[in-house]
Amino acid sequence: MSQTTTATQQPTIHPIPEGLAERAALLGGAEGILTDEQIAGFVSEQLAGQDLDGKSVCLIIPDGTRSVPLPKVLPAIHDALAGRASSVTVLIALGTHAAMSEQAIDQLLGSTERGAKA
């Protein structure tokens, strides 16, 4: 019986660009609760400089096992992309978790009054 040996290729590791942490956009902190206006202003400012006009945008969000205030953040993202992006898809990152029901998705996303469909 012959043995075949396969060489394993090592992944390429790229260093973190210098100054990246200093350029990260920050909002809020442990000392208070953000208002809808603060969230909307921050999201609008961050997306204003991105080349998204006429493009299809995919938002990757966590599933219901993670604590994220999506009902507060998604409306701000929707408003910032309205009239700019040709389409917006929201992809729920389930990983190895079970699929979510439409009811669970509605609860995760909050109101779907803006034309969202589960």
Instruction: Tell me, yes or no, whether 70 lies in a domain.
Output: yes
Tell me the average pLDDT across 63-81: 90
Domain that includes residue 41, residue range: 34-109
Q: Looking at residue 59, what is its pLDDT?
A: 94
Q: Say if CB 76 and CB 39 are below 8 A apart.
A: yes
Q: Looking at residue 40, what is its pLDDT?
A: 95
Instruction: Tell me, yes or no, whether 81 lies in a domain.
Output: yes
Higher pLDDT, 3 or 14: 14
Tell me the average pLDDT across 55-63: 93
Instruction: Tell me, yes or no, whether 79 lies in a domain.
Output: yes
Instruction: Tell me, yes or no, whether 20 lies in a domain.
Output: no
Among the ranges given (77-81, 88-92, 112-116), the one the predictor scored with the smallest mean pLDDT: 112-116
Q: Say if CB 91 and CB 55 are below 8 A apart.
A: no
HSE at residue 50, side-chain half, CA atoms within 13 A, is: 15
The tally of domains found in the chain comes to 1
